[in-house]
Amino acid sequence: MDGCLYVWLITEDLYLDWEPQTVRSLTRACGRRPEWMLEVEVSGRVDGTAEVRHLTLALLAQGGIAMDDYSDHLWTAEEVADDRAVDGLHFFGFRTHREQTALPQ
């Protein structure tokens, strides 16, 4: 996506640094433990919100679950498309997450 997003297909050592509860939640949501995942990073040069949402919706068109670094929620395509908030956060809600976790000055 024009150098905004960097995508990797991960097939090995998927869950090495994951919390057990997160793996259980993902397994429950998918009906099995996924054997692969796509990791997407956003260039620091751009906001990336529109690009991440566009790619996520394209990838989830036939089903699946998305995760982000800002919540513990497992996101469906419908939730991403509707820009639904869960526990005060939207999918890829880095701004809100940053505000919520900022140290008081």
Q: Concatenated DSSP letters for 29-55?
A: HHTS--S-EEEEEE-TTS--HHHHHHH
pLDDT score of 105: 61
Distances (CA, A) of 96 to 13, 36, 71, 82, 89: 30, 29, 11, 17, 7
Which one, of 43, 37, 38, 58, lies nearest residue 2 by Cα?
43
Query: How many CA within 13 A on the CB side of residue 49?
Result: 11
Mean pLDDT of 73-100: 91
**Each residue of 36-71: pLDDT tens digit?**
999 999 988 888 899 999 999 999 999 999 999 888
pLDDT score of 100: 82
Mean pLDDT of 79-87: 95
Provide the 8-state DSSP code for 73.
Answer: P
